[in-house]
Structure 1
Amino acid sequence: MSEFYDALETRDPGAREAALMAALPQVVARAQAHSSAAAELLAGVQPQDVGSRAALAQLPVLRKSELLQRQRERRHGDPFGGFAAIGWNGLPRPGGARRVFQSPGPLYEPEGTAPDWWRMARALFAAGFRSGDLVHNSFSYHLTPAGSIMETGAHALGCAVFPGGVGNTELQLQAMAELQPHGYVGTPSFLKILLERAAEQGTALPQLSKALVSGEACPPSLQAWFAARGVQAFQCYATADLGLIAYETAARQGLVVDEGVIVEIVQPGGSEPVAEGEIGEVVVTTLNPDYPLIRFGTGDLSAVLPGACPSGRSNVRLRGWLGRADQATKVRGMFVHPGQLAQVAQRHPGLGRLRLVVSGEPAAEKLLLRAEVTESQAQALELAQLLAASVREVTKLRAEVELCTPGSLPNDGKLIEDSRRYD
């Protein structure tokens, strides 16, 4: 039995990169032709010129707040805000949609007719699911796409699915006892509830040996708790906008990026890629022709792990979820957010990491901008004054400036540190 879902997972990294970059101009061209929102955002961009990561990095980052705003503005004419290339009768792009979902916001997401449209089969396979297995699916089938994301992936593998959905713990446990599923998909917290309840009731689940969990953190301690009860639990990283982004393997060393997306790690709130190993915001370009999101900012923080995955899969690995990029903080009645610090950095090329420290008491806060600079920059007496002026111009707030040596600030993706006293 193969250890890999397909040959794409083990191809030479250079060959993968070449294939992704060859596909990128086609993705841009289709987005411009079939997505009115993308046509606006990418006006003047020549698709044939976007064939490298450097060229991709010149395109704007689309963040969820902008996607939501565009959907709201066009709600009655196009619930997808002009981003989808599929729809139904009465929409700008009729046809091609199998389902439509609503996520908090509300945001609307389409699902097309292609098998495994969300590309989840790869993550399920890495978690040990195989054709003929029965999968107990405890993700929601109501409004949001999580249940469908997992079900379509399981069907693509040839698995049968019990659509448990959320809640109804006793009924779900009864179904598990009587159907004896081979695997579980859902949140790790609900799996823990089910296993604890089964132990309390003396209910045996001897067939349940694997799980693919998402939606919440599943630290090694919880994975060990599951393993002690006979269940090997693996994590995957997916969103309602993009489908699968990355997944865990038996190596348990980070999350391997899916073959159908291009992932960048950029400055939180900004658009420039950070150095490999630095923590930043996960930005994804999907190759999905039905919903061609280009440089979509997930708002999640992560970093690229060095080296290859011990599992034999050759794609890039992410460290996992490391927090949220949106660190917006209210200071003296004004919101300060990472995007503003990115603007400050753009005004002063060559800076290292930045961190704005908010201290003091509410309504009487002090701001300190800590900035990594080279020795030659530190010798420029006016640099601190220039940085202080930039902070005031961008945020409308005064800040002291501390120049730091390169590498002295933590590599944790945090641009705004709230150290205020609330007692």
Structure 2
Amino acid sequence: MQTYYDTLEIRPAAEREAALFAALPRQIAHAQQHSPAMAEILAGVDAAAITSREALATLPVTRKYELLERQKALRAQNAFGGFSAIGYGPDMGRVFASPGPIYEPEGKARDYWRMGRALHAAGFRSGELVHNCFSYHFTPAGSMMENGAHARGCTVFPGGIGQTEQQVQVMQELKPAGYIGTPSFLKIILEKAAEMGVPLPSVSKAMVSGEACPPSLRDWFAEHGVQTFQCYATADLGLIAYETRAREGLVLDEHVIVEIVRPGTGDPVPEGEVGELVVTTLNPDYPLIRFGTGDLSAVLPGQCPTGRTNARIKGWMGRADQTTKVRGMFVHPAQVAEVVRRFPQVGKARLVVSGAMANDQMTLRVECAEPDESLQQAVASTVRELTKLRADVAFCAPGALPNDGKVIEDARSYD
């Protein structure tokens, strides 16, 4: 059994980094020429100069809500808000709609979303039948996985969602080697099969995504004869990271550049610190540069025990967009980040909103090695200037705040 999808997975880390940042200037130049939205966002950027992570970090982050806002504003002229580098016709096979709605193009490249790599790591091989229970309408998940399965040489049954008894019947008769879909629906299918007295011994593996699959649920599947593997992908970016048999985080895909930044900013955080996943894709059809996913994660130290040399992330750890309404006003992570930026003495900060409804209180907890009263007053004044709201300022020692990516914590009572 071939361990790796290709040799890219085991190349030296320095070789990978050099290859990615040799390709990046070309991708940025391509985006500037063929994606009107990216051309506007990257106006004045010298693509040839963006050859390192430090240079990449100087470019603006485009977050998902900004993509949606641009699409809505330009809907009459361009359904994709100017982000797509291809248009209707022979270069675009399908268009999908995610909640928002956000419209996403599907290009004609083989395994357009690069899901084959994740399926290979999960044990899917050529000549097998795959039962795909992701939706095939509106959203692209079903197509994403089907394209990846075809790239692995698999045959696909498009099960879609719902119709649980029929799903069990088809699995019993067609005997697929594996399942693709959400973990919750796989559990429903296995429970329904047990209720019907129908064994499904052929289903020995699963690629699950779209929702959390905690270790307790993974163990439940194993007890029922199914080894499950997770992947992290989005309709905008395709595959970002995937689980291996080592079960130690998710290995990054070979065709994306991933940064972890402090929520509300574009500033990369140190390795191991939780922050927002920002992804740059090398997909020429949809060339998103520094695209903020809105999801929290962190980079794990070292390499995967399977021998794959790319970096690993912990997986999904929550949402980065922690915008909170306080006394009728929205407070954004970017405002907290701006407070920190103005005071070099300050490390990290966390805005805690407490109290009962209609009696909100804000406390900015600030890491600082040498706090004093004048700094406390200055920070409080800056919070009021930026948010139009009063806040207490409480100092704590460097490293005292939790490493969970939270910039705003809503601790209010809603009873």
Aligned pairs (5 A) from 1:353-392: 353-375=348-370, 378=371, 380-392=372-384
Deviation of the 1:418 alpha carbon: 1.6
Separation of aligned partners in 1, 2:207 and 2:103: 25
Matched to 2:5, the amino acid is Y
Between stretches 336-345 and 18-27, larger displacement belongs to 336-345
CA distance in 2, matches of 1:17, 1:268: 25
Q: Which moved more, 1:271-280 or 1:334-343?
A: 334-343
Q: What is the match of residue 409 of structure 1?
A: 401
Q: 2: CA distance between counterparts of 1:350 and 1:198? A: 61
Report the 3-state secondary structure (helix = DSSP H, G, I; strand = E; otherwise coil) of the residue aligned with 1:131: coil
Measure the CA separation in 2 of the matches of 1:311 and 1:71.
41
**Aligned equivalents of 1:409, 1:66: Cα separation in 2:** 29
Q: Which of 315, 329, 332 is residue 337 of structure 1 equivalent to?
A: 332
Whether 1:212 aligns to 2:204 is: no
C-alpha separation in 2, matches of 1:325 and 1:350: 24
Relative to structure 2, which stretch is displaced further, 194-203 or 246-255? 194-203
Shift of 1:330: 1.1
Counterpart CA distance in 2 for 1:271 and 1:244 is 22
2:162 is matched with 167
TM-score where L is the length of structure 1: 0.96
Q: Say which is worse superposed, 383-392 or 141-150, in terms of deviation.
A: 383-392
Letter in 2 for 1:201: M
**Residue number in structure 1 paired with 2:284:** 289
Aligned to 2:226: 231
Map residues 237-248 of structure 1 onto 2, 5 A cutoff: 237-248=232-243
Q: Tell me the distance in 2 between the aligned counterparts of 1:252 and 1:318.
A: 12
User: Of the candidates 139, 142, 146, which is equivalent to residue 147 of structure 1?
Assistant: 142
The offset of 1:374, in angstroms, is: 2.4
**Whole-angstrom CA distance in 1 between matches of 2:279 and 2:378:** 34
1:85 counterpart residue number: 85
Identity across matched positions, percent: 67
- Equivalent pairs counted in the alignment come to 415
Aligned counterpart, 2:52: 52
> Which range moved further: 102-111 or 352-361?
352-361
Across the aligned residues of Structure 1 and Structure 2, the Cα RMSD in angstroms comes to 1.0
Q: How many Å separate the matches in 1 of 2:382 and 2:311?
A: 36
- Cα separation, 1, equivalents of 2:412 and 2:197: 50
Q: Distance in 2 between matches of 1:361 and 1:222?
A: 35
Deviation at 1:362, TM superposition (A): 1.9
In the TM superposition, residue 421 of structure 1 has moved relative to its aligned partner by 2.5
The structural deviation recorded for 1:383 is 1.5
Displacement after TM superposition at 1:129 (Å)? 0.1
Unaligned runs of at least 5 residues, structure 1: 90-94
Alignment partner of 1:399 is 2:394: no
Q: Secondary structure at the match of 1:115?
A: coil
Q: Tell me, what secondary structure is at the counterpart of 2:273?
A: coil
* Aligned pairs for 1:312-351 within 5 A: 312-351=307-346
Aligned to 1:23: 23
Aligned to 1:13: 13
Structure 2 unaligned regions, length at least 5: none
Instruction: In structure 2, give the amino acid aligned to 1:149.
Output: M
Quote the offset at 1:132 in angstroms. Answer: 0.6
Secondary structure in structure 2 of the residue aligned to 1:388: helix
1:353 to partner: Cα distance: 1.8
Q: Secondary structure at the match of 2:71?
A: helix
Task: Map 1:122-201 onto structure 2 (within 5 A).
Answer: 122-201=117-196
Query: d(CA) in 2 for partners of 1:123 and 1:52?
Result: 27
The 1-side partners of 2:300 and 2:391 are apart by 35
Instruction: Please give the per-residue CA displacement for 1:173-226, whole angstroms capped at 9, x wherever unaligned.
Output: 111111010010000000000001111111121111100000010011111111
Q: State the shift of 1:394 in Å.
A: 1.1
Whole-angstrom distance in 2 between the partners of 1:171 and 1:350 = 63
- 1:419 is aligned, of 407, 411, 415, to 411
Once residues 43 and 374 of structure 1 are traced to their aligned partners in structure 2, the CA distance between those partners, rounded to angstroms, is 40
Structure 1 residue 350 displacement after superposition: 5.0
**Greater CA deviation, 281-290 or 199-208?**
199-208
Q: Determine helix, strand or coil for the equivalent of 1:108.
A: strand
> How far apart are the structure 2 equivalents of 1:52 and 1:127?
32
Q: Rate the CA distance shift 1:177–1:61 in 2: closer, same or farther, 3 A.
A: same
Between the aligned partners of 1:25 and 1:162, the Cα distance in structure 2 is 40
Q: Which secondary structure state, in structure 1, belongs to the residue aligned with residue 156 of structure 2?
A: strand
